[in-house]
Chains A and B, each alone.
Chain A
């Protein structure tokens, strides 16, 4: 029984159940995932590294646990892909940058610890825009990932590899990080669920920092329920992260079935102006679907949110310029020698960082400089406060807000690489949540231009993940057939 081939299209809940009950071996599940990766990875380039041996050893350990009659955990045997900015002990962690060449972390990120303890199997590290700076994965030093729906298009970014790995059916779950939309935007582009939790709900320990006050780790999954399961496994207080919220446990799975009757849903009108027609239609249709199942729906204007982008592109680069100072060639990663220390620093950074990273370091260095701080950084922080306040005022009238995740469906590779500002604008609707520290998630809902998926974004107040997931669950129930990851698990053997 347990040696039979893995059944098709199992989600994380089903896999964990099958493995825990001994119906299927974790090894079989992992072998299957590795095979799917081997079949398509040439085309998609989701991974920087596939950790085959480590994954199989971990699977065997889970199987041994089951054999002993013990419980390996809620994610038993579930293959998971990790964005390659999450530290993994003994496994290279690159941030898709040349500057970390050869560096192998001596420790696991807290989320990696927690995944292992929940019985999940890490199968590899996924591609990203270098140091998570970008919206297409094209800023990777190792080449772009491709969208499984259309290989000529980007999977989004910066967590493009993690989104595509789930969309391609490699794995049912993956982790990304979201600083200005880096989970939700690729989730929308790839037709998967992507969640940015409340700032402080998931420990950042072991997440290689881009912009510390905005970064948050979150799940990708094919279903809202799977995303909830993953979030519960990784969330909760961690004493190693001072910004981790005290005493918060994450209970979202049980909330899913509570429905949305009586919930007040606001459509953010300002976001509809700049979005493509198909995207606007999808949002309106999702709202209508929520009304059908008992929510009250109204539009709301929150014009302050439109100032978020400008504030973000001051705060994030400022923090990044400091966070990335440590890559100086002295202690680890790339070193390009020079006649003195300063020259070695400069040469190492000139060669090790890509153009977008350099652009943001320079921008951030500038905005923090003596004489400019008040005009830029301090002003941006005031705008940030304004954005959070505007959200909170809206939440006096609404339990959740909805809107588009991105202005359009996935764009073509190369389409925006020459125009950074156009690239930045693809995060217009996701950035405000990071500035406010509030949770938001993208749920696949419809198909748009070129038959590509469109995600609807659900926003909630801080720590109201359970309400957000209830609404996301209801939206998912009304989603257009075929709008979610086209391939699901075991596509190769499914049809």
Chain B
């Protein structure tokens, strides 16, 4: 990510909409499911048919509380409001949401790098349906016609509003990434940005360094990946800086991020902004979870990613105190993010080498997280033991691990089947002798201390053994011959 223009500060607040993975919708018993035939998971309530009434889903409330507690919020008595505006994919032409008394308030997230981002609120609301504009480039303005799918209407959402504590595109990405991990860890959401279960809007403003007052902000919508979030914020910040530096001013408005063009464009100005005419939803009663319920939710909450990262880091370090924890941070974050920390911990518990177990999980196992979470930690430990003990090479270890993820058996069986058992020391010695004999000039330079040629010689051995030799042992053997 490029640095911002010197002399300017960026301020970002993020609004994240997170779909809860309840079985049913927020106010009716229709299935909360993604990707089904349009308008099949609908009923009078979620279609907003005349006379229908909402009944609050208890599990959605519980999930919202999980999120709030995981974000260090206070869970408070709350009420629902109606947010009124016309849109074809909103069945009642108002959205049931929470306004001035949300269920969760005043929390924070600790980012892996240590930055703390405040959470203003995390409130419950219902999702809208989905409109597809047909023809004319897919935007409403020049579409030939539009189709509406109400399957998503009434799906429970929690909207998480950060404080404007974010000051770079990287931090914005780190925030969403950490938030996503927390949501997944809480069990409340699958956190899938591509499927729209996680949607991010960014409030972006810039000011000259040292200014106290925040600049005029623009809300940027339609980022559907972490990458586009970072790009959109950067673009928008530079746009605003450019405007201000050329004597213009920023107009408060909502802007649309166009991924293909890599730019934002005006969606609607402040003047065109809706007056939502919020008022308390008379069809629902106040929501006051009793403290026993809140405590039970708190007690049942699994450890959150930051705690798990700390635990895993300490464990890996304890297995090898010489390690640099800082250098392992990304691997630890990946492993925790994918829910593989249990696998690593248990393998270490079985005596496996911590650094290797972590590396294999963060790299190879991470490509197949579902299968990896189902791995037998003991078998994984055995594999790490084989690699650590030099019985197999790193390359072989990776291959065996991928086979294990395919469910192809125990590590020892796989090693045997693939013929990885043995480029043993004697056999290896013969090959090395052969390579030295075939490359006398290179050998001479190696003996004289040329480390660059060492890689060439090692590579020859690897080629001869089809990659089956243990790299560490090869290096040891060459050096033994040199000094011998």
B51: which of A206, A319, A342, A370 is its contact (CB, 8 Å)? A206
Contact across chains for A208 and B146 when beta carbons are under 8 A apart: no
Which chain B residues lie closer than 8 Å to A212 at the CB level? 282-283
Contact across chains for A342 and B283 when beta carbons are under 8 A apart: no
- Contact indicator per residue, chain A 367-393, by CB within 8 Å of chain B (1) or not (0): 011100100010000000000000000
Interface size grouping (class) on chain B: 20 to 34
- Contact indicator per residue, chain B 74-109, by CB within 8 Å of chain A (1) or not (0): 000000001010101001111000000000000000
Quick one: which of A195-237 are within 8 Å of B by CB?
Answer: 204-209, 211-213
Quick one: which of B275-296 are within 8 Å of A by CB?
Answer: 275, 277-279, 282-285
Which chain B residues lie closer than 8 Å to A242 at the CB level? 53-56, 283-285
Q: Does B52 contact A (CB under 8 A)?
A: yes
User: Would you give the shortest CB distance from B402 to chain A, in whole angstroms?
Assistant: 51
Contact across chains for B277 and A322 when beta carbons are under 8 A apart: yes
Give the total number of A-B pairs whose CB atoms are below 8 A apart. 100
A208-B50 contact in complex given A325-B94, A330-B88, C-beta closer than 8 Å: yes
Contact across chains for B50 and A322 when beta carbons are under 8 A apart: no
Quick one: which of B373-387 are within 8 Å of A by CB?
Answer: none
Which chain A residues lie closer than 8 Å to B282 at the CB level? 211-213, 243, 319
Contact across chains for A377 and B279 when beta carbons are under 8 A apart: yes
Q: Does B214 contact A (CB under 8 A)?
A: no
User: Would you give the shortest CB distance from A172 to chain B, in whole angstroms?
Assistant: 25
Contact across chains for A205 and B52 when beta carbons are under 8 A apart: yes
Q: Tell me the interface secondary structure of chain B in the complex.
A: loop
B94: which of A241, A322, A332 is its contact (CB, 8 Å)? A322
Quick one: which of A108-140 are within 8 Å of B by CB?
Answer: 109
Contact across chains for B275 and A325 when beta carbons are under 8 A apart: no
A209-B56 contact in complex given A242-B285, A341-B140, C-beta closer than 8 Å: no
Which chain A residues lie closer than 8 Å to B278 at the CB level? 368, 373
User: Would you give the shortest CB distance from B131 to chain A, in whole angstroms?
Assistant: 9
Contact across chains for B50 and A100 when beta carbons are under 8 A apart: yes
A318: which of B48, B54, B279 is its contact (CB, 8 Å)? B279
Contact across chains for A368 and B53 when beta carbons are under 8 A apart: no
A87: which of B51, B86, B92, B148 is its contact (CB, 8 Å)? B51
B275: which of A241, A341, A369 is its contact (CB, 8 Å)? A369
Q: Does A247 contact B (CB under 8 A)?
A: no
Closest chain A residue, CB of each to CB of B284:
A242
Which chain B residues lie closer than 8 Å to A207 at the CB level? 51
Contact across chains for A331 and B91 when beta carbons are under 8 A apart: yes
Cα-based distance from A212 to B280 in the complex (angstroms): 11
User: Would you give the shortest CB distance from A263 to chain B, in whole angstroms?
Assistant: 32
User: Would you give the shortest CB distance from B385 to chain A, in whole angstroms?
Assistant: 58
Contact across chains for A326 and B92 when beta carbons are under 8 A apart: yes
Quick one: which of B32-86 are within 8 Å of A by CB?
Answer: 44, 47-56, 82, 84, 86
User: Would you give the shortest CB distance from A83 to chain B, in whole angstroms?
Assistant: 12
Closest chain A residue, CB of each to CB of B50:
A208
Contact across chains for B277 and A369 when beta carbons are under 8 A apart: yes
Which chain A residues lie closer than 8 Å to B52 at the CB level? 107, 205-206
Which chain B residues lie closer than 8 Å to A109 at the CB level? 51
Cα-based distance from A331 to B94 in the complex (angstroms): 15
Q: Does A240 contact B (CB under 8 A)?
A: yes
Contact across chains for B277 and A365 when beta carbons are under 8 A apart: yes
User: Would you give the shortest CB distance from B282 to chain A, in whole angstroms?
Assistant: 4
Which chain B residues lie closer than 8 Å to A322 at the CB level? 82, 84, 94, 277, 279
A326: which of B50, B148, B283, B284 is its contact (CB, 8 Å)? B50
User: Would you give the shortest CB distance from A315 to chain B, in whole angstroms?
Assistant: 9
Contact across chains for A103 and B50 when beta carbons are under 8 A apart: yes
Which chain A residues lie closer than 8 Å to B88 at the CB level? 328, 330, 341
User: Would you give the shortest CB distance from B252 to chain A, in whole angstroms?
Assistant: 15
Closest chain B residue, CB of each to CB of A214:
B282
Contact across chains for A325 and B51 when beta carbons are under 8 A apart: no
Which chain B residues lie closer than 8 Å to A341 at the CB level? 88, 140, 146
User: Would you give the shortest CB distance from B422 to chain A, in whole angstroms?
Assistant: 70
Contact across chains for B279 and A373 when beta carbons are under 8 A apart: yes
Q: Does A345 contact B (CB under 8 A)?
A: yes
User: Would you give the shortest CB distance from B52 to chain A, in whole angstroms?
Assistant: 7
Cα-based distance from A355 to B12 in the complex (angstroms): 47
Known contacts A93-B51, A341-B88, then 19 further A-B pairs from the complex at CB < 8 Å, ordered by chain A residue: A87-B49, A95-B50, A105-B49, A105-B51, A106-B44, A206-B51, A207-B51, A212-B283, A241-B55, A242-B283, A243-B284, A326-B50, A326-B91, A326-B92, A330-B148, A331-B47, A332-B49, A341-B140, A341-B146
Measuring CB to CB, which residues of chain A are less than 8 angstroms from any residue of chain B?
85-87, 93, 95, 100, 103, 105-107, 109, 204-209, 211-213, 239-243, 318-319, 321-322, 325-326, 328, 330-332, 341-342, 345, 365, 368-370, 373, 377
Which 6 residue pairs of A and B lie closest in terms of their CB atoms, listed nearest first? Answer: A325-B93, A368-B277, A213-B282, A212-B282, A208-B50, A87-B51
Task: List 30 A-B pairs, Cβ < 8 Å.
Answer: A87-B49, A87-B50, A87-B51, A100-B50, A105-B49, A107-B44, A204-B53, A208-B51, A209-B283, A239-B55, A240-B53, A240-B55, A242-B56, A243-B53, A319-B279, A319-B282, A322-B94, A322-B279, A325-B86, A325-B94, A326-B48, A326-B50, A326-B91, A328-B86, A331-B47, A341-B88, A341-B140, A345-B86, A368-B277, A368-B279
